[in-house]
Amino acid sequence: MAGGNDTPFKIEVSTRIKRLPPYLFARINALKAAKRRAGHDVIDLGMGNPIDPSPDFVVEKLTQAAHDARNHRYSVSVGLYNLRREAAMKYKRRYGVELDPETEVVATIGSKEGFSHLMLALLGAGDTVVVGDPAYPIHMYAVALAGGNVISVPLGNDEAFLARIEHVLKNLYPRPKLLIFNYPHNPSAMTVEPLFYEQVVALATKYGVLVISDFAYGETCFDGYHAPSFLATPGAKEVGVEFTTMSKPYNMAGWRVGFCCGNSEMVRALSTIKGYYDYGHFAPIQVASILALRQGDDFVRRQADVYQKRRDVLVAGLRKLGWHVESPRASMFVWAKVAEKHLMGQGTIDFSLRLLEEADVAVAPGRGFGENGEGYVRIALVENDLRIKQALRQMDACLNGRKKHQRPSNLAGRPAEDPGHDESTVHDQTNIIGG
């Protein structure tokens, strides 16, 4: 089961938990935790958990708002109106998309919560959902938890991929209810152009299916690429919604603020579920998030530049190792095909365990994201340039048998202010590969 612990339950748990697929990152998470406890300085490029700080002005606003006792009460489950309005204004400014904050925007506790609860709002036993393989794991788990079934289609970003989906829509009975897209993609970093979404809207309209776009990396783009929003496509709001998050662009992963925008009936379905389960974020988080959305455009651009620079360091280093690696134009990941000579006949789960054991470097094995991820590893751009270079040296020593580079201390290359992966921090318990 998922959750980083594969031990069977000693109590009778629900079918929805029992039907979860095996959690393929469990062994690697366990080894990482054990190594840390043993005092190893593991360079963790496994999870897409930003290490850089949230914007100062946002933290400042949070502190101020926390001192106001009026903000200490329950908030509203769909998010403060002003937060939803600010999210709508950002869509207008960045993508030219008009949204009604009352009916077409709901704030979520991160996009993962929103996505999961939307599955619960839309699916029941026997419903099916089309998801590309490989996929961000929650795109499959949330469907399973809601009682639905996943139809995996080999991932692509082109007409051939859409043709595979159309084949499923035409031939499967009952017809799938939902199509899930995620560009820029996790884990593969695949991207699309606006024409792709025009074809998606046409397909969804023709077959009467709903669409969800997970746009978590929409603002983490490089080399002048501008990832298109699904909602900017004519007709998109008739057939679907899009999830955005403050986690990645604003380095606010721990704040848990995301949005679901678009089709008013889908937004209403999610809002209904949330209204029963939840009272919304702590209001100061929402107040500070409003400011981030209003004044954070430069911050977001600068942060994308940071990832671009790390990407260049990592891609160059991996190519030097002898790997064939495409340089991604968006996302926080490099999706790297492991050289055959380094795989040595192993699958990527065993390969990643070996890398962790022998090189103290954690990466996410592609197999954990689906069968089509086999042969690849996902490397997250979440350490600074020096640490990435250090990781590459350790990988080189482990894989190519070169002399191990001596590190001056247990914290080589880590900025002094970053307590990131010390044993004593909460980070250690929460840094689960797969995210």
Ligand X SMILES: Cc1ncc(COP(=O)(O)O)c(C=O)c1O
For ligand X, the binding residues (CB under 6 A) are: 48, 110-112, 136, 182, 186, 214, 216, 245, 247, 253, 258, 435
Instruction: Compute the least distance from the CB of residue 48 to ligand X, in Å.
Output: 4
Q: Which is nearer to ligand X, 244 or 263 (CB)?
A: 244
Instruction: Compute the least distance from the CB of residue 392 to ligand X, in Å.
Output: 23
Instruction: Compute the least distance from the CB of residue 128 to ligand X, in Å.
Output: 21
Instruction: Compute the least distance from the CB of residue 87 to ligand X, in Å.
Output: 13
Please report, for residues 287, 288, 420, the alpha-carbon distance to residue 60 in angstroms, rounded to integers and kept in the order given. 11, 8, 21
Q: Output the furthest CA–CA distance in the chain (Å, rounded).
A: 62
Distance separating alpha carbons of residues 78 and 278, to the nearest angstrom = 9
Burial of 92 (0-12, 13-18, 19+ CB in 10 A): exposed
Distance separating alpha carbons of residues 123 and 117, to the nearest angstrom = 10
Measured over the CA atoms of residue 28, residue 32, residue 38 and residue 44, the dihedral's sign is: positive
Residue 5: φ, ψ to 5°: -140, 115
Instruction: Compute the least distance from the CB of residue 184 to ligand X, in Å.
Output: 8
* Lookup: tokens for 83: 């937060």
Helix axes 297-321, 385-400, angle to 10 degrees: 20
Strand partners, 129: 150, 178
Q: Euclidean distance between the first and final Cα of the chain, in Å?
A: 16
Name the residue whose CB lies closest to ligand X.
110
Q: Which is nearer to ligand X, 336 or 343 (CB)?
A: 336
Q: Which is nearer to ligand X, 161 or 259 (CB)?
A: 259
Q: Which is nearer to ligand X, 314 or 432 (CB)?
A: 432
Instruction: Compute the least distance from the CB of residue 407 to ligand X, in Å.
Output: 29
Q: Which is nearer to ligand X, 253 or 261 (CB)?
A: 253
* Lookup: tokens for 297: 């455009």
Instruction: Compute the least distance from the CB of residue 332 to ligand X, in Å.
Output: 8
Residue bearing tokens 């700080």: 53
Instruction: Quote helix, strand, coil % in the chain, to nearest 5.
Output: 45, 15, 40
Q: Which is nearer to ligand X, 315 or 330 (CB)?
A: 330
Hey, what's the torsion of the CAs at 248, 250, 251, 254, to 10 degrees?
-90
Q: Which is nearer to ligand X, 86 or 396 (CB)?
A: 86
Q: Which is nearer to ligand X, 258 or 280 (CB)?
A: 258
Instruction: Compute the least distance from the CB of residue 44 to ligand X, in Å.
Output: 14
Written as one letter, the residue type at 345 is G
